[in-house]
Homo-oligomer: A and B are copies of this chain.
Amino acid sequence: MNNFILKEKIRNIIDSNDSSLGRAFAYGIQFLIILSVITFSIETLPNLTIQSKQILHLIELFCVIVFTIEYLARIYIADKKIKFVFSFFGLIDLFAILPFYLSFGVDLRSLRLLRMFRLFRLLKLVRYNKALRVFTQAMIAAKEQIILFMVITLILIYFSAVGIYYFENEAQPQHFSSVFESLWWSIVTLTTVGYGDVYPITVGGRIFTFFILLIGLGIVAIPTGIISSALTKSVDSKD
């Protein structure tokens, strides 16, 4: 019985936004997430002094301890513990602390990439959001169309890459040496980023780009349109 009351108390703090303690806990966790992300960014700065590195490490240590306690508490209060561990947010909570513990046994080089997993903490920021559930429903409703247009977009990008390869390969062998290199041009152009590091210079390549852009931009932008309207509709049907 005592156990049950304790569980309820913890649940009140961790899982509920109604109590003032629960809200304080939620804001505290959010503050620590942003703090640890800022720490993570500062660590990448070149020419850090040893002292500041130590301070950053202490902040990181503190964050990980709190996140670990939170993770264990969440497992403790879950009715179906296994289900929670393998749920979406359960895994995020795990991945947010795992890199720290793994870094003890692993050498420094591979540790670098592991640290990136810490960014999963950011996903914890959107945990309690109802709007996210609406969005997920909208995505599921429009799933088939989004997949179709993703496939069509990929085909279009690949087709553009092959086309520009044939037009520009001879004129600019350093930029369009193979279809793989052309794919870089293709994605940068069809998303309209247009860095300007590679662009067609032959007349044929430019005319090809002309038509690809006229037709292609419409296709590439359609998934966004679908998501937006699915989102609007799922909000409507909720009212």
Residue numbers of A with Cβ under 8 A of B are 37, 40-41, 44-46, 112-113, 116, 119, 122-123, 125-126, 129-132, 134-135, 142, 144-145, 147-148, 150-155, 158-159, 162-163, 165-166, 169, 173, 177-180, 183-184, 187-189, 191-197, 199, 206, 209-210, 213-214, 217-218, 220-233, 235-236
Cα A12 to Cα B129 in complex, Å, equals 47
A144's partner among B119, B131, B206, B225 (CB-CB below 8 A) is B131
Residues of B with C-beta under 8 A to A227: 218, 222, 225
Which B residues lie within 8 Å of A150 (CB)?
214
A152 to B122, CA, bound (A): 9
Contacts of A187 in B (CB 8 A): 209-210, 213-214
What are 17 residue pairs bridging A and B, where the CB atoms are less than 8 Å apart in the complex? A41-B178, A44-B180, A46-B173, A46-B178, A116-B163, A119-B159, A123-B155, A131-B148, A153-B214, A184-B210, A187-B210, A188-B194, A194-B195, A222-B231, A224-B228, A225-B231, A229-B229
